[in-house]
Amino acid sequence: MHPAALIHGHEQAWSWLVLGVTAAALLAFAGLFVAALVSILGSRLSGGMKLAWVIFAFCAPFLGSLLWFAFGRRDAAEPVRR
């Protein structure tokens, strides 16, 4: 086999690897975002707080989703204060 063909095959393998990793990361991100929205809407928070979290999740999808799971769900688990 010619050395140029080996290099081309190697580059093509790396291209497929990068494409696969990128696709997996995008699917994970989309799953995190959808899970955060479902969790927010199903929480026991008041309507105004749900709206605030949903707006934050849409404005900063990755950070908003992470912050929801790190801090928001804990607040949502507490009884609603009246």
Of the chain, the percentage scoring pLDDT greater than 70 comes to 83
Helix or strand (DSSP H, E) at 22 = helix 3-41
Higher pLDDT, 67 or 1: 67
Q: What mean pLDDT is predicted for residues 49-56?
A: 95
Question: Beta-carbon neighbour count of residue 44 at 10 Å?
Answer: 12
> What pLDDT, in 10s, does the model give residues 16-50?
999 999 999 999 999 999 999 999 999 999 999 99
Q: Nearest-CA neighbor of 43 among 69, 82, 64? A: 69
What is the C-alpha to C-alpha distance for residues 42 and 67, in angstroms, rounded to an integer?
16
What is the token pair recorded at 54?
């949903």
Confidence check: pLDDT of 4 > 70: no
Report the largest interatomic distance among the alpha carbons of the chain, rounded to a whole angstrom. 76
What is the C-alpha to C-alpha distance for residues 71 and 79, in angstroms, rounded to an integer?
15
Q: For position 2, what pLDDT does the model report?
A: 61
Q: What mean pLDDT is predicted for residues 55-76?
A: 90
Where in the chain are the domains? 3-77
pTM for the structure as a whole: 0.74
